[in-house]
Amino acid sequence: MLRIEKSRGEPDLTLKPLRENGPAEWKVRVLFIADRVPSLGYKIFRAVAVDSSGKYKTSLTASNNGLENEYIKLTLDPKTGWWKSLHDKRLGREFLSGPGNVLEAIADEPPNMSAWEIGLKETLARLGEKGAVIEVLEKGPVRATVRVEQDFRNSKFIQEVQLYAGLPQVEVRMWLNWQERNIMVKTAFPLATQKPVATFEIPYGAIARPASGQEVPAIKWIDISDAEGKAGLSLLNDSRYGFDVKDNIMRMSIIRGATYPDPEADRGAHELAYSLYPHDGNWKDGLSFRRALEFNIPLGAHQAMLHPGTLPAEKAFLRLSPANVVLTAFKKETGYGSPGFVVRLYEIFGQETEVKLELPKEMEVYEADLLERPGQKLSPSRNLISFKIKPYEIKTLLLR
């Protein structure tokens, strides 16, 4: 999926001349789904002027009461902005057992506690319980957006809750102006999950932790699935790394106002994003780690020069399989020996795996350590190689 911009309101699709005299230059804003872009590669899309705007079929609907596409029906409380229902239409399953995406303001005591400690006490407020401002921002064929504005004391929170056509997840873009001290705000999701199993991403892997309510770290995702592995809900995020899960309630830390050593810590403007991704099976079946990578590293759009070129209209520079092998680095080699490329990957399911790596051209492949010092040759010059990776192993390769 390609996000050209964070537009507010209906995208302006009107072509506008940038020059009144001389050759016309045109500026256009476009929002579309970039379908089937090759792995670690590119694909050319062309924007072409037409005489009249076409009508497009879409599964998207939006109102103050919620959002819906072909996969998900999200129901909102039009007074509070809280999520009343998160229903997966494919699975025929409800994922919430109570109001979800509720911002909870919690006392963080004692007042002189350092930023390296957390002392959460009573809940001071649930943002929106005294009312929220809700409006539909977008209702197009590609994206639908509902904005929710909530206040807490001297602070303001703005959420843009979004659904895209063809994507089975709900995205939240949040802007906030934070002015409070000794308070933490968390977003809470009570889940309709029996015997929940909580899994958290850690560096180069994932770990299951008890649902005890303790604040624990994670990177780009956490997941709550039922013990039978029938279904689960993953919380993906782009910049928040503190979570707690108690019984069936999943929470993510949004902001806090510690006063030591910096009495003004975190005061001011913040921006973040997170996404709720319901899936069949457990986090492995749902490939939650891949959805989190896609969420954190969206495709980039670049306007191309018009020229004959020597490359095809679409191309992959690297292909890696199977799905439980995760690529974490693909970069130029700058250290030892002749110039080439560094590839770093790891196995996340905890099982020995036969890896297939497809290269853009014939290259020699060497194993290396984490400092990228070359070791033995893994393969002679070819563009498709295979090798074994051990459970949870981190492997570094040099391509020359």
Q: How far apart are CA 207 and CA 218, in angstroms?
A: 9
Q: Where are the alpha helices (DSSP H) in the chain?
A: 288-296
List the one residue out of 313, 315, 360 whose CA is nearest residue 341: 360
Residue 385 CA: distances (Å) to CA of 117, 338, 361: 49, 20, 11
Q: How far apart are CA 1 and CA 45, in angstroms?
A: 13
Residue 156 CA: distances (Å) to CA of 28, 150, 235, 358: 33, 6, 23, 49
Strand 221-226 versus strand 196-202 pairing type: antiparallel
Quick one: pLDDT at residue 24? 60
- DSSP states along 240-251: --EEEEETTEEE
Residues (pLDDT < 70) of the chain are 1-28, 53, 336-337
Give the SS3 label for residue 122: strand
Quick one: pLDDT at residue 57? 84
Residue 307 CA: distances (Å) to CA of 42, 145, 304, 310, 311: 16, 38, 9, 9, 11
CATH 2.70.98.30 boundaries in the chain: 61-296
Domain covering 61-296, topology: Beta-galactosidase; Chain A, domain 5 (2.70.98)
Quick one: pLDDT at residue 52? 72
* Each residue's pLDDT tens digit, 50-69: 777 677 788 899 999 999 99
Give the Cα-Cα-Cα angle 126, 130, 131 (nearest 5 degrees).
105
How many other CB atoms are found less than 10 A from the CB of residue 341?
Answer: 18
Q: How far apart are CA 161 and CA 148, in angstroms?
A: 8
Q: How far apart are CA 235 and CA 250, in angstroms?
A: 9
- DSSP states along 285-324: TTTHHHHHHHHHSPBP--PPP----SS-SEEES-EEESTT
CATH of 318-399, one of 3.30.2230.10, 2.60.40.2220, 3.40.50.300, 1.10.3720.10: 2.60.40.2220
Q: How far apart are CA 390 and CA 352, in angstroms?
A: 5
Residue 296 φ then ψ, to 5°: -85, -25
CATH 2.60.40.2220 boundaries in the chain: 318-399
The pair of three-digit structure tokens given for residue 140, joined into one six-digit string: 């197009």
Quick one: pLDDT at residue 66? 98
Q: How far apart are CA 398 and CA 376, in angstroms?
A: 10
